[in-house]
Amino acid sequence: MWAVLGLGVIQGLTEFLPISSSGHLVVLKTLFGVASPGAALEVALHAGTLLAVFWAYRHWFVEWLGQLRAKERAAWDLMGRLVVGSVPAGILGLLLGEMVARYFTVEAVLLGWVATSVLLWITPKSAQDEHSLNRIGWWEAGIVGCAQALALWPGLSRSGSTIAMARVLGVAPEDAAQFSFLLAIPAVLGASLIEAPALLHARIPLMTLLIAALLAAITGVVAIQWVKGVVTRPRAWRAFGVYTALAALATWIIGG
């Protein structure tokens, strides 16, 4: 049970911090003999991360849903951009998901962590001509979506890639982070739906799954607030790049 709950904490933190949840899980599994959590636990942890996004932006979601009901164009445009941004990862996952899964190795994670470090270090600083969430264009949403698709590679952080790309395209720091977290919803929901039947054959007690999901949600909210705070501070943001570089080095030394 403690191993399951520990995975809940790791999932919640690493899903939103720009340090790659898949990379950490691959390294833990391979180097330290941690067994695969199983599809049922993955569904529970995904549910926890979704809850984290909804809770962290609960006031914004209430306002946005009201705007959708009122048929405000800006709200529906944002919905469309989230769909566009989700398409690349969806297509790549369906077409190449099984092939990509074969490369979930420590060596692949090392490359992914190095790439993440580079992305975090080259993320632009704040500028005066940045635009907000509601002004993200269709092509910008597509490019950020492509960055999310590339993050299917283990060790390449999804949140780091999408936030960095949005910043390169001129999106304000906090809006870039929010767009990244919103894009996580269809990505995580899609993965959860695919694995949902596994809940019927779960070997882990339901109460343990619920607690793990709750821990993932709580730590996920902490991670979201953390990212929202550091994304506006270049030094703090790049510190995550230092972490992934050191993680890659440590993994290489231990695994070598």
Summarised one tens digit per residue, pLDDT across range 115-173 is: 999 999 999 887 767 889 989 999 999 999 999 999 989 899 999 999 999 999 999 99
- Identity at 60, one-letter amino acid code: W
Bigger pLDDT: 238 or 125? 238
User: What are the tokens at 20?
Assistant: 């790659």
Contacts 24+ apart (CB under 8 A), 30-35: 30/105, 30/106, 30/255, 31/106, 31/251, 31/254, 31/255, 34/3
| Three-state secondary structure string covering the chain | CHHHHHHHHHHHHHHHCCCCHHHHHHHHHHHCCCCCCCHHHHHHHHHHHHHHHHHHCHHHHHHHHHHHHCCCHHHHHHHHHHHHHHHHHHHHHHHHHHHHHCCCCHHHHHHHHHHHHHHHHHCCCCCCCCECHHHCCHHHHHHHHHHHHHCCCCCCCHHHHHHHHHHHCCECHHHHHHHHHHHHHHHHHHHHHHHHHHHHHCCCCHHHHHHHHHHHHHHHHHHHHHHHHHCCCHHHHHHHHHHHHHHHHHHHHHHC
Q: Are 231 and 177 in contact (CB under 8 A)?
A: yes
Task: Assign 219 a pLDDT band (cuts: 50, 70, 90).
Answer: very high
Residue 133 belongs to domain spanning: 2-14+22-30+37-255
Which value, to the nearest 10 degrees, does the dihedral of the CA atoms of residues 68, 74, 80, 82 take?
-90
Give the model confidence (pLDDT) of 25-59 as tens digits: 888 877 766 666 666 777 788 889 999 999 999 99
Average pLDDT over residues 73-102: 88
Say what percent of the chain tops pLDDT 70: 93
Average pLDDT over residues 82-111: 86
* pLDDT at position 63: 96
Angle at alpha carbon of residue 158, lines to 200 and 94, rounded to 5°: 50
pTM given for the model: 0.91
* pLDDT at position 145: 96
The structural domain count of the chain equals: 1
